[in-house]
Structure 1
Amino acid sequence: MDGVTAIANILRLEGVEFIGCVPYQPLLEAAAIAGIRPIVFRQEGTGIHMVDGYSRVTNGKRMGVFMMQNGPGAENGFGGVAQAYSESVPILLLPAGMAREKRGVHPNFYPTRSYETITKWSEEMNTVERIPDLMRRAFTKLRSGRLGPVLLEIPADIAAAELPEELFNYEPPRVVLQQANPADVNRAAKAILAAANPIIHAGQGVLYAEATAELVELAEFLQAPVMTTLSGKSGFPENHPLALGAGGPSTTGMVNKYLKGSDLILGVGCSFTKTNFAQAIPDGKTLVHLTNDEDAIGREFKTDLAMLGDAKLVLRQLLDELKSQAGSGRSTNQALVDDIKLVKEQWLAQWMPKLTSNEVPMNPYRVVWDLMNTVDLDNTIITHESGSAREYLVPFWEARAPRSFVGWGKSTQLGYSLGLAMGAKMAEPDKLCINVMGDLAFSTVGLDVETAVRSKIPTMTIIINNAYMSIYDNSRFPVAMEKYNIKGLSGEFVEVARAMGAYTEQITAPDDIVGAIKRGVTETEAGNTVVLEFITRDEGQYSKF
């Protein structure tokens, strides 16, 4: 067999059912022969975003794979890979490369070297005999430790070279997970039990480890409130009495109060990174950090105690240790539960005029509120877009089940949400998969709605169209606004989506929101891709403290 046939056969052994691409490279035909479905995108970015969403929603149990054409295809994929790297998403990238004899010849592009800074591992298949070993290493890295993209470049001569059958000896590697040092767990348990006002700060490591049940048990044992990061949102059920919601650029009143009022913060599966897309960690707190990434410990904050290992395994260790030190746990702290409920009611009351607004043009908060109260939350996966769409959605959407909400923000590329929703639908075809995006974001990636239509991926795209970049305050560029109106945007997006075969509606009145959403849900259930455009006002007020 030749090199690309060996690669395709390995992908089948790993359970890969589809592969994203923009033609052409030799692996495409080999994959099709092996029974792997190629899905062709309009541009590499959205394709990479789609396999990213697929890996996320399956928690890496089924791997998203994307192949790129030699040269411009690999060059054009850079942004999508950078986004996945920033979000620690495991995806396998298989760019074609120049024949080895052309290495170093200007202007040939060398993906292996160029992608080193935005991948967990970037390597060239430098001999055909090494293909099984390199693929084994790739899948091991994709499933171990802190996750991230892995790239294997396929030089043209290796793609065509013959691999002797006796050297094709591939077996999928086993996943290896680790527990923490028992002494570290013992010290952490003592500190947590001694704290007067502990809070749990949960990241997406909880989701990848599938540790929600253990996290809920820990919160109830300690009677400790739980907040999540943007990417960790849905890792703890937000209808739980101890749930505070997610902390992104905007957040809930509960997160604001209890994060500030805590004396100990237990980080679970998070990085404690200083970023504009997370709530700031207040000074003077004891930090206990459970992570599988040693590089995250003490990176930007002094870590008082750390536990290194898989979130699910270490949470179980911690629970056992807490029980050995404190018995059966604390009884329900009704005063705490009642206060969380009261703070939530007071915070929501402040926002109800916007969430239930009847103004025209519509308030985007009304669109989000009606959307949440119309769809079946237990059968829905939703993701937000960069910018205002994120701020409208994240604090107010109640995520009840793991991966029912796909949050992100370490990098913020416009248009990411469309591919994420498509990947979620590939992973969970029986669920309603929604992305909420602004008009500028749709402008960057909207032509891949045709990919969803053609590939029979019936997602629902909600466009918040205010013809304006609300996330950027005019004070940033007063002269540019006054002289050139740089934030003014235009376009008939429903006409574009309709021309590509999607079911579309444009909604201008608040009373029509619910009916349009219900019709859209019905259309997705019939197998149709849906684009609903809501004409809204400019809304620049966010739930920030």
Structure 2
Amino acid sequence: MKGSPEMADTLQTQTGNVSACEPQSLSGAEYIAGVLKQEGVKQIIGFPASELFDASAALDIPPLIARTQRVAVNIAEGYARATSGKELAVVTVQYGPGAESAFAGIAQAFNDRVPMLFLPTGYPRGSEAVSPNFESRRNFSHITKWCETATQVEDLPKLMHAAISRVRNGRPAPVLLELPVDLLADKLDSSPVRHLRPRRSIPQADDGEVAELVGRLLAAKNPIVFAGQGVLAAGASAELVQFAELLDIPVMTTPNGKSGFPEDHPLALGTAGRARPTTVDHFLEKADVVLALGTSLTRSYYILPLGEDKVIVQVTLDDADLGKDYPIAQGVVGDARSVLKQMIAHIADNQLSLAERPQVARTIAELRAGFIAKWMPLLTSDSEPISPYRVVWEIIQAVDPKTSIVTHDAGNPRDQFCPFYTASVPGSYLGWGKTTQLGSGLGFAIGAKLARPEATVVNLMGEAAFGMVAIDFETAVRCKLPVLTVLLRNDVLGGYARSMPIATRKYGANRMSGSYAPIAEALGGCGECVTQSGEVRPALLRGLERVAEGQAALIEVVTHEEPRLAGLW
């Protein structure tokens, strides 16, 4: 595949009147920027200093400079997830302290299974292993799926091709290529227009595996689908709906997979997180066979465990997932969309008789109605301080789920929001449920807005989370990425008193203080503080108006601490 004429013209301008099809003398940084241009990269995210910023800017790839390296990586994650990995998310940071500070973000992305290209610079060759210099290749190896250092500038063509190929193929995860600063200044005689863009391979199951999968599900009395993020990454939501309707089989999702199956569908159970709706508990308890589709089946405190009595069949891109945390009756390595299409075709080609289960949808509707009725007193509470569930309810009323992307932060905001928000459009909800670092939601929201500027992006977080990343609210302002942040303020670390009761009682270790709307104003955005229940929705609507006008907004709501969680109370 040859590069575009525009790329050749750009490189000619940069290097003189040399044909783009002939070897050209470019610096390492210029070569990498040229490859990113060939790959259609729309921006390079990070925090200076990195030689890649200028080299990319010369090719009209703008920088997005965050205030902190961790949030820069969170932004890249939000971007990658909002595009389902179809667009290359690229992050670069300075060697030493920059790479050190990015570690948490890469760890989060690794646990969230997010494909991104991480290009930290490195110490000059020869000094990288000298203590206390931080060598990315050595330190990031267990939170990336490929982690290498370029040692010769002539190796950049094959290393960049290998890195991008690994971003696009196999299990989604960050891919790291460390770039020593002296190597980035070295010259090489190679043209980025010769870069062959790696394509995504889409593995399928074989016919025997498909027949066995379908046979198990048809023979089951109460089968259930447990859909993960792989459904979103494969763009398989339509096929999952078709399959579920074909078999009258209910579908629940992982936290990361929320929105992969439309939650307003009659067969939708909701999300099987730590906090979850009644529909999930009811059908999971009855289930005899679980089809784990596009999920690693990772055990986590934040994901509802499957019972030991379940027969589990698993479809995943990564063979290392098979039997990792649960014993499985059958494991298939394949793309979620491909395998769904194969199963649908197998049923049609073999004219298999399907058991009709009309009572499934009826039971789901009854349970869903009862669940909402039980929680409605909290969702519509007029208490002061305000109930966080009232805030959740008002967000649901104010936001259009068809045109919005919502996310949350870790802790109570996630557990209070996820069971009640109906994600009806694929990719309209960025959930997360393995490692859950406080503050990640803000970067995810900014990245989602970067990927889909037409969408309204809303982020729900607590004051502890905002305190960790608040300064990056200015990144949303400066970069003209208007997101709405809804902040729950109750002046405590919600739920943490249980883990440190003595320290809380004697020293108030769970206490926090501060006002946050003024911070948003000081950083150039819109800030408003709400203290009365009846003012929550008008404030949200004003915030959404400001976002639509292009201004980042923060609505701070003074709430009380609320220990009651769906599925746990």
* TM interval, short-chain normalised: over 0.9
Q: In the alignment, which of 529, 534, 537 is matched to residue 557 of structure 2?
A: 534
Q: Which runs of 4+ in 1 moved over 4 A?
A: 328-331
Post-superposition offset of 1:48: 0.5
Post-superposition offset of 1:476: 2.4
2:481 aligned with 1:436: no
2:11 alignment partner in structure 1: none
Question: Does the Cα contact within 8 Å between 1:200 and 1:266 map onto a contact in 2?
Answer: yes
Q: What are the Cα deviations for residues 25-83 of structure 1, in whole angstroms up to 9, with x where unaligned?
A: 21111111111111111110111000110000101111211101011001110000000
1:478 alignment partner in structure 2: 501
2:449 alignment partner in structure 1: 425
2:489 aligned with 1:456: no
Question: Does the Cα contact within 8 Å between 1:16 and 1:63 map onto a contact in 2?
Answer: yes
> Kindly, what percent of the aligned residue pairs are identical?
39
1:505 alignment partner in structure 2: 528
Task: Give the letter for the 2:189 counterpart.
Answer: P
Q: In the alignment, which of 345, 359, 378 is matched to residue 369 of structure 2?
A: 345
Task: Give the letter for the 1:398 counterpart.
Answer: T
Q: In the alignment, which of 390, 399, 402 is matched to residue 375 of structure 1?
A: 399
2:567 aligned with 1:544: yes
Task: Give the letter for the 1:154 counterpart.
Answer: L
| Number of equivalent positions | 543
- Partner of 1:282, secondary structure, is coil
> Matched residues in 2 for 1:300 and 1:375: separation?
37
> Matched residues in 2 for 1:188 and 1:176: separation?
22
Q: In the alignment, which of 390, 395, 416 is matched to residue 366 of structure 1?
A: 390
2:280 alignment partner in structure 1: 255
Q: What are the Cα deviations for residues 123-170 of structure 1, in whole angstroms up to 9, with x where unaligned?
A: 111111111111111111111111000111111221011011368621
Q: In the alignment, which of 378, 386, 396 is matched to residue 410 of structure 2?
A: 386
2:226 alignment partner in structure 1: 201
1:6 alignment partner in structure 2: 31
> Matched residues in 2 for 1:270 and 1:462: separation?
30
Distance of aligned partners of 1:167 and 1:409 in 2 relative to their CA distance in 1, 3 Å threshold: closer
Task: Give the letter for the 1:464 counterpart.
Answer: L
1:303 alignment partner in structure 2: 328
Distance of aligned partners of 1:168 and 1:2 in 2 relative to their CA distance in 1, 3 Å threshold: farther
Task: Give the letter for the 2:172 counterpart.
Answer: L
Post-superposition offset of 1:313: 0.6
Post-superposition offset of 1:375: 1.3
2:470 alignment partner in structure 1: 446
> Matched residues in 1 for 2:316 and 2:50: separation?
39
2:64 alignment partner in structure 1: 39
> Matched residues in 2 for 1:136 and 1:519: separation?
47
2:71 aligned with 1:54: no
Task: Give the letter for the 1:402 counterpart.
Answer: P
**1:265-414 pair list within 5 angstroms:** 265-327=290-352, 329-331=354-356, 333-414=357-438
- Partner of 1:382, secondary structure, is strand
Q: What are the Cα deviations for residues 500-523 of structure 1, in whole angstroms up to 9, with x where unaligned?
A: 011111111111111111111111
Runs (5+) with no aligned partner, structure 2: 1-25
Question: Does the Cα contact within 8 Å between 1:116 and 1:122 map onto a contact in 2?
Answer: yes
Distance of aligned partners of 1:24 and 1:166 in 2 relative to their CA distance in 1, 3 Å threshold: closer
Question: Does the Cα contact within 8 Å between 1:494 and 1:506 map onto a contact in 2?
Answer: yes
- Partner of 1:77, secondary structure, is helix
1:523 alignment partner in structure 2: 546
Q: What are the Cα deviations for residues 351-373 of structure 1, in whole angstroms up to 9, with x where unaligned?
A: 11100101111000110111111
- Partner of 1:123, secondary structure, is strand
1:112 alignment partner in structure 2: 137
Question: Does the Cα contact within 8 Å between 1:459 and 1:524 map onto a contact in 2?
Answer: yes
- Partner of 1:464, secondary structure, is strand
Question: Does the Cα contact within 8 Å between 2:109 and 2:173 map onto a contact in 1?
Answer: yes
> Matched residues in 1 for 2:246 and 2:37: separation?
43
1:230 alignment partner in structure 2: 255
> Matched residues in 2 for 1:126 and 1:225: separation?
52
Question: Does the Cα contact within 8 Å between 1:370 and 1:513 map onto a contact in 2?
Answer: yes
- Partner of 1:276, secondary structure, is coil
TM-score by length of 2: 0.94
- Partner of 2:67, secondary structure, is coil
> Matched residues in 1 for 2:79 and 2:191: separation?
34
Question: Does the Cα contact within 8 Å between 2:38 and 2:192 map onto a contact in 1?
Answer: no
1:136 alignment partner in structure 2: 161
Post-superposition offset of 1:329: 4.4
> Matched residues in 2 for 1:15 and 1:452: separation?
23
2:179 aligned with 1:154: yes
Question: Does the Cα contact within 8 Å between 2:248 and 2:358 map onto a contact in 1?
Answer: no
Question: Does the Cα contact within 8 Å between 2:38 and 2:193 map onto a contact in 1?
Answer: no
> Matched residues in 2 for 1:479 and 1:330: separation?
57
1:71 alignment partner in structure 2: 96
Post-superposition offset of 1:431: 0.7
Distance of aligned partners of 1:93 and 1:167 in 2 relative to their CA distance in 1, 3 Å threshold: closer
1:171 alignment partner in structure 2: 196
2:491 alignment partner in structure 1: 467
Question: Does the Cα contact within 8 Å between 1:503 and 1:523 map onto a contact in 2?
Answer: yes
Question: Does the Cα contact within 8 Å between 1:323 and 1:329 map onto a contact in 2?
Answer: no
> Matched residues in 1 for 2:111 and 2:450: separation?
23
Question: Does the Cα contact within 8 Å between 1:203 and 1:235 map onto a contact in 2?
Answer: yes
Distance of aligned partners of 1:236 and 1:74 in 2 relative to their CA distance in 1, 3 Å threshold: same
Question: Does the Cα contact within 8 Å between 2:168 and 2:198 map onto a contact in 1?
Answer: no
Task: Give the letter for the 2:328 counterpart.
Answer: T
Question: Does the Cα contact within 8 Å between 2:30 and 2:52 map onto a contact in 1?
Answer: yes
Q: In the alignment, which of 42, 47, 54 is matched to residue 17 of structure 1?
A: 42
1:213 alignment partner in structure 2: 238
Question: Does the Cα contact within 8 Å between 2:34 and 2:193 map onto a contact in 1?
Answer: no
Post-superposition offset of 1:327: 3.7
Post-superposition offset of 1:324: 3.4
Q: What are the Cα deviations for residues 3-27 of structure 1, in whole angstroms up to 9, with x where unaligned?
A: 0000001011111111112111211
Post-superposition offset of 1:326: 4.6
> Matched residues in 2 for 1:277 and 1:475: separation?
17
Question: Does the Cα contact within 8 Å between 1:385 and 1:416 map onto a contact in 2?
Answer: yes
Post-superposition offset of 1:475: 3.5
2:246 aligned with 1:246: no
Task: Give the letter for the 2:97 counterpart.
Answer: P
- Partner of 1:157, secondary structure, is helix
Task: Give the letter for the 1:275 counterpart.
Answer: S
Deviates further, 321-330 or 271-280: 321-330
TM-score by length of 1: 0.98
Distance of aligned partners of 1:105 and 1:516 in 2 relative to their CA distance in 1, 3 Å threshold: same
Task: Give the letter for the 2:489 counterpart.
Answer: N
